[in-house]
Structure 1
């Protein structure tokens, strides 16, 4: 296949991904399964799908969910505009769910059409939202060479075994062992054959996919050192940690939108220059009448991890606002629409009379802008703030 977003795309005919997302979230507590918990206004599973979706050389993404969550997952796919995603029904255990996902490429039982059978398939938990293209590429290339591969991390704590009386039996030498993480990748024929040969005991009580490839296909997986951000959201504290990381990520990019008037464009440029040393900044100058459709096209290709700032100008002698009601109404309407996709829009009013006060005001506006996007308070979206 052609290389995708990574400079060194995999020399593999086709790559697909299966994301098991059928867990009940018992360890997290609460009625909502962890994969559907909202983080910064968006379900956790959507972040994971988007992370995999950004990798252009992954042709198909299968999300496997419990029967009662099929429609919920489909609505998430539609709401956030995910592409190349197929939702299918999971089984009563993790292994049975993964097997159901793999069947979409070989059997017609679970779908009205067959997807292209990949050469390599990636398996990744839907509650590990911080996977990067680099580790996906490493496990895919290792799987092509060795038949199977998986990310690993050093053990944080020593593993011990207890005797029947509850006393210590023995402990493992921590330096000799590793924690198995996700993602994992396999030659499709190997992992599919392994699942076909599985006993019911393996399907019901097993958890390690690499072990199935070894047990049934004699395939020794290549172990790939993973990064620290491959952890799994399991407990409520993990959800809080994920929210903090995602919130920080969402505040790393901003889009400044100005009108086409020369004075306003100048203000937008100055604000851009003031912010660019702190975050990634894009500036767009566009007529208000053409703004909606143009911006919707821009947002459709993004990860929704930025805030748009409308820059307005007040050159009057008094303190009255020079923005008219029609423009405010359009901005608020637009803000409500894109808020559904986790994009927050604020209006910014800057007043000035000559250059030096303007620069000082722009610096103040930059500080205010940084505070807004770090806080990401959805209740302020569509509001006009004054610098």
Structure 2
């Protein structure tokens, strides 16, 4: 029977976010940002184990009590210089527990508003898919291409364009090969695409936002509180 596992790469410093604290440890509704990504994966009945991949010199992880998330969670201090390297190191750490045909979900540490229904929908949609895929949403905004003077060079057609989200879900063996052969991609799907395969786009929800800037924390908190999440 095919099993499901998850990796959360969390070795970055969140330079675009600013501040002195790594982004994954910024507080959101009373808990560190990364808590929410880990909590929903650990709560999913399908997922057997969750690896969080941290920088070798991470000093923030042990400042928090992660035991309430349960026995599924395992920390690995082997993060790399890029997201791709961190995920690849996480895959190596998982090698003794995961088979090539098992599903491996990769989720952003800074995407705290993933819900169990979104996660269940992704797994159900891809259960029999030959390639795998990712949550994504069709682009709704008008896109402008800028020139060197920060003026509009042209308007880009948005037909057929989607904004990638996470989790991204692929077979363990396939994902490990894709990242080994094509490590320069910005997400797992791009590495799979570089093999000549076509990941499936599973429609997600705009609430599954990625916290990139400080203002995004406020929006994420509003979403979580509307769902009844976070500390009061």
How far did residue 169 of structure 1 move? 4.0
Q: 1:212 aligns with which of 176, 191, 205?
A: 191
Q: Say whether the 8 Å CA contact 1:150–1:180 is kept in structure 2.
A: yes
Of the candidates 205, 212, 216, which is equivalent to residue 238 of structure 1? 216
Q: Who is 2:174 aligned against?
A: 190
Partner of 2:160: 176
The CA distance in 2 between the partners of 1:238 and 1:165, in whole Å, is 27
Match of 1:52 in 2: 41
- Greater RCO, 1 or 2 (C-alpha within 8 Å, sep 6+): 2
User: Following superposition of structure 1 onto structure 2, how do residues 62-73 of structure 1 map, counting pairs within 5 Å?
Assistant: 62-69=51-58, 72-73=60-61
1:236–1:164 distance in 2 versus 1, CA, 3 Å: closer
Cα pair 2:138 2:160 within 8 Å, conserved: no
* Change in CA separation of 1:188 and 1:68 when aligned onto 2, cut-off 3 Å: same
Please give the secondary structure, in 2, of the residue aligned with 1:145. coil
How does the TM-score come out when normalised to structure 1?
Answer: 0.54
Counting matched residue pairs gives 229
Partner of 1:42: 31
1:91 matches 2:80: yes
**Alpha-carbon separation, structure 2, partners of 1:163 and 1:16:** 43
Map 1:221-236 → 2, pairs under 5 A:
221-236=199-214
The whole-number CA distance in structure 2 between the counterparts of 1:213 and 1:163 is: 31
Write the deviation string for residues 114-160 of structure 1: whole angstroms up to 9, x where unpaired: 22336111111011112123332333342641312111112243333
What is the match of residue 16 of structure 1? Answer: 5
Residue segments in structure 1 that go unaligned for 5+ positions in a row: 2-12, 107-113, 252-304, 306-341, 343-375, 377-387
The structural deviation recorded for 1:220 is 0.8
Q: Could you list the per-position Cα deviations for residues 193-248 of structure 1 after superposition, in whole angstroms to 9, with x for gaps in the alignment? A: 1112125xx1xxx31321211212x2211111111211101111111122233334
| Conserved 8 A contact 1:148-1:213 | no
Please tell me whether residue 247 in structure 1 is matched to residue 225 in structure 2. yes
- The counterpart of 1:76, out of the listed 60, 64, 89, is 64
Q: Cα RMSD between the aligned structures?
A: 2.3
Q: Which residue of 1 aligns with 2:16?
A: 27
Q: Please identify, of 176-185 and 79-88, the stretch whose mean Cα deviation from structure 2 is larger.
A: 79-88
| Residue matched to 2:123 | 140
Residue of structure 1 aligned with 2:108, choices 125, 147, 151: 125
Q: Which residue pairs with 1:152 in the alignment?
A: 136
**Greater C-alpha radius of gyration:** 1
The 3-state SS of whatever aligns with 1:128 is coil
Between Structure 1 and Structure 2, the one with more helix by share is 1
Q: Normalising by structure 2, report the TM-score.
A: 0.87
Secondary structure of the residue aligned to 1:61 is strand
* Whole-Å separation in 1 of the counterparts to 2:81 and 2:144: 30
**Which whole-Å CA distance do the structure 2 matches of 1:180 and 1:79 have between them?**
31
Work out whether residues 162 and 168 of structure 1, in 8 Å CA contact, stay in contact via their aligned partners in 2.
yes
